[in-house]
Amino acid sequence: MDLTDRKILQTVQRNARITFRELSEKLGISITSVQKRLVSLEKAGIVQGYTAHISLAALGGTFVLIHGRSRADFAIETMDVLGGHEAVSTVLCGAQNHLYVGAFLKRIDHLDAVVTFVKEAGQIPEPEALIFNTSSDITCVRNPKGECSDATDLTNLDHRIIWALHENARRPLAEVAADVGVSAKTASIRLERMISKGLIEFHVEALPHLYTSEVLLTVRIRPDADRRKIVEKMREDPDCFVDEDVTFSNAPNTVLFTLDVENMEQLFRLLKRVVGFDGVESIYHDVLLHQRYYSTWRDKLLKERAVPAIPRASK
């Protein structure tokens, strides 16, 4: 992966339905080049798929990160056990036997039960639970417009449109319309409405660590420091490509960066600079070894709402 590939992936992660023409104009390269590069990312397994879901916020849910160092001999072997929980959407394993578990909670009062499960299944003695800020630059639950209606605002047709995009969010609208039995114009109007009201989310399941060194960098900031300036410095740093920066409602002085570096020398220079940033209290870094995605209760719920029940035979 070169810098252009990273920018393409980052842009698609933030707008899974962006067209090749829009990507071309945004990145300043030809449509043909954009198309070839994205296809290559797919064939290489870096892009695993494009999914669509009912918005987590519209469902009243919460996205959390539960993490900690595992006592398992090989933490990767616990990942599928963790992924068996209906709330767990992704599990990442770092080079220091550290596990990072992303979970969608139906309600915030489910947090303790999920943390207990992660603690036992992941063999993590002291897990930390972090609640994502809705304003975070996290690609799987982001809503750029910041608006969100309640999921009760979704019609049966809306559910069927989301379901038609569920396993391939980049499907042509004409195909989606044919699947749900409406005109392309109607499908387009319904989809734009869902997007504008924050009722639908798109997610690109990607594994960039297969071809680049992906680093998770946790930065603890002093309470009196300007967090925004530190984020800006990170994004301007010449020795890394920042993919995401995430903040947490229950840990306001913590920022988690997902970033790519070309080599360990580059990472060393970056860490040396970051620890010297004005306002930085401490840092912790981990190199990502493996990541897996899992189906959750959201997938099951969407299917139930989109696929009508088989009517019972009359007696």
36, part of any domain: yes
By the 8 A CB rule, do 150 and 58 touch? yes
Query: What's the pLDDT at 313?
Result: 45
Closest to 27 measured CA to CA, from 10, 44, 47 = 10
267, part of any domain: no
Query: What's the pLDDT at 146?
Result: 55
Cα 256 from chain centre: 13
**Is the CA virtual torsion 71, 138, 247, 210 positive or negative?**
positive
Distance in Å from the first CA to the final CA of the chain:
62
27, part of any domain: yes
Query: What's the pLDDT at 212?
Result: 82
Query: What's the pLDDT at 195?
Result: 93
13, part of any domain: yes
- In a structure prediction context, what are the per-residue pLDDT tens digits for the chain, which is 315 residues long? 888 999 999 899 889 999 999 999 999 999 999 999 999 999 999 999 999 999 999 999 999 999 999 999 999 999 999 999 999 999 999 998 999 999 999 999 999 999 999 999 999 999 999 999 877 665 555 554 556 778 889 999 999 999 999 999 999 999 999 999 999 999 999 999 999 999 999 999 988 887 888 999 999 999 999 988 998 999 888 878 888 899 999 999 999 999 998 888 989 999 999 999 999 999 999 999 999 999 999 999 999 999 764 444 443
Alpha-carbon distance 56 to 46, whole Å? 25
99, part of any domain: no
Query: What's the pLDDT at 304?
Result: 94
Alpha-carbon distance 173 to 291, whole Å? 31
Parent domain of 14: 3-44
109, part of any domain: no
CATH number at residue 29: 1.10.10.10
Query: What's the pLDDT at 315?
Result: 39
Both tokens of 228, joined, read 């925004």
52, part of any domain: no
132, part of any domain: no
Domain count, the chain: 1
Closest to 284 measured CA to CA, from 249, 236, 251 = 251
List the beta bridge partners of residue 284: 218
List the beta bridge partners of residue 16: none
| One-letter amino acid for residue 32 of the chain | T
